[in-house]
């Protein structure tokens, strides 16, 4: 029977295949069409049904993802766009927001556009959600091989957000997945290489999509909920139940103060019982204090 304990044993598996790429692995390539042209990508297949694409050419974010062929991620009408198309002013970020399973926001701003009075550079404008998602990674490395923990696949890279007389921040990201598992682990390290302290804002914009996200899908988490504004407050009673698309309905955002378990980890899941499918996030509440939800 496929996908039992023996399936992922090295000697068992390698006696039945010529190369592990038949089952799982990493494939690196560069997108070459339209506004995505030049963006480096890496597909990861775990062999157990989970497949996803990391984009070293776009901040090491995660674009497409599926489980046994069922899409998990929302992809916006912009599609993947290359960094040269980034528009820094105001809400120009939205012209390059492809969604994907994960878009990272920061490192100097996460949220609406704002202004900063820098001691050397003077008045500076920061566009919506910052620059990090449009910065290509450097020192990109991939590894796929047998370890003591089984067959392990990793993609790593470092993004640098820097300005002369200003910030010098790096975000080093490693995405790790294992043969036979339907999950991945994302590990980030942010470092300030400047002589002076630096502001830091960091937001993980996970974007689940149809058919996982559909009418009747449920948000499952242990939390206290605060609506962002009046539009959201009107529908707080149903904020954990997803509605069908509604023309003209405003975006509704709810902030969840998740109650961590004894190990400090917080959890939030999106479940589609009709499909018998769900996805969950797990993170350290001491490092990421707020979880936001936008059902629309």
Q: Is residue 264 over pLDDT 90?
A: yes
> What is residue 170's predicted lDDT score, i.e. its pLDDT?
98
Question: Where residue 295 falls among pLDDT bands split at 50, 70, 90?
Answer: low
Q: pLDDT > 70: what percent of the chain?
A: 98
Instruction: Say yes or no to pLDDT of 1 above 60.
Output: no
Q: Do the Cβ atoms of 65 and 206 come closer than 8 Å? A: no
Mean pLDDT computed over 257-276 = 96
pLDDT digits (tens, 9 = 90+) for 134-193: 999 999 999 999 999 899 999 999 999 999 999 999 999 999 999 999 999 999 999 999
DSSP letter assigned to residue 108 = S
pLDDT of 293 reads 78
Q: What's the pLDDT at 117?
A: 93
- Region 243-270: mean pLDDT is 93
What pLDDT is stored for residue 154 in this prediction? 98
Which letter does DSSP use for residue 36 in this model? Answer: G
Helix residue ranges per DSSP H, the chain: 10-14, 230-233
The encoded tokens of residue 18 equal: 């010529």
Beta pairing partners, 184 = 177
State how far the Cα of 279 lies from the Cα of 257, in Å rounded to an integer.
19
Q: Average pLDDT of the chain? A: 95
The mean pLDDT value for 51-59 works out to 98
The share of the chain scoring above pLDDT 90, in percent, equals 92
Label residue 294 by pLDDT band (50, 70, 90).
confident
Q: Are 137 and 159 in contact, with CB atoms under 8 Å apart?
A: yes
* pLDDT for the residue numbered 289: 84
Label residue 296 by pLDDT band (50, 70, 90): low
**Can you read off the two tokens belonging to residue 291?**
């979880």
**In DSSP terms, which residues pair with 266 in a beta bridge?**
283
């Amino acid at each position: 029977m496929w996908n039992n304990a023996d399936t992922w044993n090295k000697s068992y598996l390698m006696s039945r295949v010529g190369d592990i790429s038949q089952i799982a692995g990493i494939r690196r390539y560069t997108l070459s069409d339209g506004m995505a042209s030049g963006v480096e990508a890496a597909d990861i297949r775990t062999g157990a049904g989970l497949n996803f694409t990391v984009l070293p050419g776009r901040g090491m974010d995660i674009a497409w993802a599926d489980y046994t062929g069922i899409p998990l991620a929302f992809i916006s009408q912009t599609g993947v766009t290359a960094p040269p198309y980034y528009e820094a002013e105001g809400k120009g970020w939205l012209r390059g927001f492809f969604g994907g399973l994960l878009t990272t926001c920061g490192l100097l701003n996460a949220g609406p556009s704002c202004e900063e009075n820098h001691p050397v550079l003077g008045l500076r404008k920061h566009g919506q959600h910052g620059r990090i998602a449009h910065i290509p990674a450097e020192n990109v490395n991939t590894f796929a091989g047998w370890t003591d923990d089984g067959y392990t696949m990793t993609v790593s890279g470092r993004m640098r957000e820097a300005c002369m007389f200003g910030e010098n921040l790096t975000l080093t990201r490693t995405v790790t997945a294992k043969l036979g598992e339907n999950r991945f682990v994302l590990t980030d390290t942010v470092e300030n290489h400047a002589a002076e302290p630096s502001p830091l804002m960091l937001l993980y914009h996970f974007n689940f999509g149809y058919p996982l996200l559909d009418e009747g899908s449920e948000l499952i988490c242990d939390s206290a909920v605060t609506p962002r504004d009046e539009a959201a407050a009107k529908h707080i009673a149903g904020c954990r139940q997803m509605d069908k698309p509604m023309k003209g309905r405003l975006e509704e955002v709810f902030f969840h103060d998740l109650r961590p378990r004894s190990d400090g980890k917080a959890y939030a899941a999106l479940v589609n019982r009709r499909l018998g499918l769900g996805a969950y996030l797990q993170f350290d509440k001491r490092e990421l204090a707020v979880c936001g939800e936008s059902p629309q």
